[in-house]
Structure 1
Amino acid sequence: MGQMILGSSTHVFLPQRLHPGLLDALANGGAKTIEVFAARYHFDYADRAQVKEIAGWFRSNPVTASLHQPLTTETTFSRHAAMSLDLIDREKMHRIEAMDEVKRALEAAEQIPFESCVLHLGMKGDKWSEATLEFALTAVDHVKAFASPLGVKLLLENLQNEVATPEHLVDILRIGHFDSVGVCLDTGHAHLSEGGIAGAFEVLKGRVVEVHLHDNNGMRDEHLWPASGSERSVAAAKGSIDWAETYRLLDTLPAATRGVLEIGYEGFETAEAVSRMTGEVLSHRTRLLEEAAAFDEGQG
């Protein structure tokens, strides 16, 4: 069995202010790595007291930390708030605003030992063009120059647009000579794409540092808990990813690749429920891999 480091994103608690009790809930569920979702109403990277409090928790617990870039500058949570920060926006002013906000979030790495930061290139439905390629190269170069001295590795995530398809992410990394930049393979987004998870994996596997684990029905990005077949809980009843096959695939990635549950915040906002579900999903993965190994042995 592979050595994937399993954990969770604080995205599941997005409407709440992040505090040590919520991090405890994820760790108690078995998370060995936690991705902190940067949103001012959740983790306010500009609030010194909160940054210090979160840094203290990571220093006292055997859990590694990563960061997800902010997607909005809103300071109060709203279920209907649209993503407003776009690193490859057509307007230069908006691109600069997005880069500045990402850098503000990265400054928290001076205290919190973030190993990496996930970046989004573009909004849903954005088209691929010479201009978007140019904007992407500039954004990654600019943010990388800021992140590197802080010891933070940038990871580009596959999204539901033409710019951040697996093939175009590889193009961006190759053309920009971004040898130190990795990829965050998002299983939910890949499941919604033409090539599916297996196709995205094949293109990106040499660059994957982190994997976002979540399920959907193949129609829209729902961020459901991973589950399989008859073992699907009510929470994941609509998901259609084959997790036995997906885990087998991911298990071939290098040791220390991070597998992070990035779950929607609706319906599972109590710390206890999240802790319980995290534990169930992580043990379910172990069981599926053990069954696969036993099957392979029987075939041998």
Structure 2
Amino acid sequence: MPVLVPRGSLYSERASNEKIEVEARIETSSMLKVLSTHVFLRQRLHPGLLDLVTRAGAQGVELFAARQHFDYTNRQEIRDLAEWFRSNPLEPFSMHAPLYSDREMGRGGGPSVNLLHPEKSRRIDAMDEVKRALETAEQIPLRVMVVHLGDREDTWSPRALEYSLTALEHLRAFANPLGVKLAVENLQNEVTRPEHIREILHTGHFKDIGVCLDTGHAHLGDGVSETIAQLREFIRTAHLHDNHGNKDEHLWPGEGEIAWDETMQELKSAPQTPAGVLEIHYALEEPNEVIVEKAQRAFEKF
């Protein structure tokens, strides 16, 4: 006797076929392999380092906008890199917005680039600095700019929401004509908790602004799986790095405690499979050849 399947059951033939199709799509989908130049932050960015990124098996690169590393205000430096990109297959996929406007990452007392600072003049200065970095896209065809909303100690409030909406609206208006889309990164602050990022994007009707899912920050906060679950519809790119659950170490995947097989499957199940950006800490001070080898191994997880 045939088994009768209730109408609308998850075990119906149609639902079963759809499930198989989704699983197949997840299984075969792959991330764009991207390496952030954050790992080279103590070196001046030059074509030789971009050659190393290519040797590591990367398809794209994320330029880390720190003036001592990549001076986004130096037009000649930008032209030199643009010429290299025109002659090589490596894609200039994204840029990480500047965190400081000086050449010492704030160690000399320089203020951070904080789009949500209580003082209006500081907020304006921060937006101007991010815009200077965005101007790089006039010569280097970036796709994404990763932005921070606030510093680590910033808390959530109606004012934080207002400042976030203002900053993203202004930066979006500047970035879109350059062909660049914004991606908000989840940080170790209250403003960028998953539920608050959702509120910001929904309140501002920012349908063209996505999320940069940072695995290390998620692991130190609500957990990687929970963060992905809350933000999956917005995820466009992902900063991939590891830690041991007590500080933001930016280790290579597999050198900390994050469950990478599960994490990669969850990221690939997002509506838009994000680019996977290895964002490894420069303080590890590993030789370039070690960086190439470890990046190659990490990209195998993609």
Place the TM-score, normalised by the shorter chain, in its bin.
Answer: 0.7 to 0.9
Which range is displaced more, 82-91 or 199-208? Answer: 82-91
Instruction: Report how far residue 270 of structure 1 moved.
Output: 3.1
Whether the 8 Å contact between 1:86 and 1:94 is mirrored in structure 2 is yes
Q: Which has the larger radius of gyration?
A: 2
Residue 183 of structure 1 aligns to a residue whose secondary structure is strand
So what's the TM-score if we normalise by structure 2?
0.87
Whether the 8 Å contact between 1:188 and 1:213 is mirrored in structure 2 is yes
The one-letter amino acid paired with 1:31 is A
Residue 212 of structure 2 aligns to a residue whose secondary structure is strand
The one-letter amino acid paired with 1:252 is S
Matched, 1:139 2:167: yes
For residues 168-187 of structure 1, the C-alpha deviation after alignment (integer angstroms, 9 at most, x for no partner) is 11100100111110110000
Whether the 8 Å contact between 1:191 and 1:197 is mirrored in structure 2 is yes
C-alpha separation in 2, matches of 1:16 and 1:188 = 23
Partner of 1:119: 147
Matched, 1:241 2:258: yes
Instruction: Report how far residue 64 of structure 1 moved.
Output: 2.1
Equivalent of 2:210, from 171, 182, 186?
182
1:88-127 → structure 2 map (5 Å cutoff)? 88-127=116-155
Higher relative contact order (CA 8 A, sep 6+): 1
Q: 1:83 to 1:57 in 2, by over 3 A?
A: farther
C-alpha separation in 1, matches of 2:166 and 2:59 = 34
Equivalent of 2:251, from 224, 231, 238?
224
The one-letter amino acid paired with 1:260 is V
Partner of 1:270: 287
Equivalent of 2:277, from 260, 275, 279?
260
Equivalent of 1:39, from 66, 73, 80?
66
Partner of 2:23: none
Q: 1:23 to 1:269 in 2, by over 3 A?
A: farther
For residues 114-168 of structure 1, the C-alpha deviation after alignment (integer angstroms, 9 at most, x for no partner) is 0010000001131100111100000000111100100100000001111011111
Which range is displaced more, 265-274 or 105-114? Answer: 265-274
Partner of 1:14: 41
Instruction: Report how far residue 77 of structure 1 moved.
Output: 5.9
C-alpha separation in 1, matches of 2:250 and 2:95 = 18
Instruction: Report how far residue 269 of structure 1 moved.
Output: 4.5
The one-letter amino acid paired with 2:135 is E
Partner of 1:167: 195
Q: 1:31 to 1:280 in 2, by over 3 A?
A: same
Whether the 8 Å contact between 2:39 and 2:279 is mirrored in structure 1 is yes
Q: Which runs of 5+ in 2 are unaligned?
A: 1-27
Q: 1:206 to 1:255 in 2, by over 3 A?
A: closer
Matched residue pairs, number? 274
Partner of 2:8: none
1:31-110 → structure 2 map (5 Å cutoff)? 31-65=58-92, 66-76=94-104, 84-110=112-138
Whether the 8 Å contact between 1:13 and 1:269 is mirrored in structure 2 is no
Percent of aligned pairs with the same residue?
50
Q: 1:130 to 1:122 in 2, by over 3 A?
A: same
Partner of 1:203: 230
Q: 1:16 to 1:84 in 2, by over 3 A?
A: same
Partner of 2:12: none
Whether the 8 Å contact between 1:268 and 1:274 is mirrored in structure 2 is no
For residues 198-245 of structure 1, the C-alpha deviation after alignment (integer angstroms, 9 at most, x for no partner) is 111111111111000000111111100001xxxxxxxx2xx1101111
Q: 1:255 to 1:57 in 2, by over 3 A?
A: farther
Instruction: Report how far residue 75 of structure 1 moved.
Output: 2.1
